[in-house]
Amino acid sequence: MTNLEKYHKILMSNLKVKNEELNDEVLVYNRHTNWDSITHVEMVAELEEKFNVMFQTLDITSFSKYSKGIEILEKLGIDMNQ
């Protein structure tokens, strides 16, 4: 399983979305029905655990849409193409 697939699995599980909904038009914090503050914290914790990284406060607050999560993980040294 690639890192991108792992990321997708976490989002799909927490936000109850399908693969075709994994995009910036659908997955936006506080605009998507299931992406509230509690789910946000749960996703950050799961991403940190799965990828063995630590989000900084700015990372947590800027994780506001699908692509931003990928950007943050890449910034933390995760190769999303692996």
Tell me the per-residue pLDDT of 13-49, one tens digit each, with 9 for 90 and over. Answer: 999 999 999 999 999 999 999 999 999 999 999 999 9
* Residue 55 banded pLDDT, cuts 50, 70, 90: very high
Contact 53, 78 (CB under 8 A): yes
SS3 category, 28: strand
Task: Return the percentage of the chain with pLDDT > 70, whole number.
Answer: 100
- Can you give the pTM of this predicted structure? 0.94
Domain ranges of the chain: 3-75
* Residue 68 banded pLDDT, cuts 50, 70, 90: very high
| Angle 18-20-23 from CA coordinates, rounded to 5° | 105
Residue 10 has a pLDDT of 98
28 φ/ψ angles, rounded to the nearest 5 degrees: -130, 130
Sign (positive or negative) of CA dihedral 73, 45, 59, 24: positive
Fold that domain 3-75 belongs to in CATH:
1.10.1200
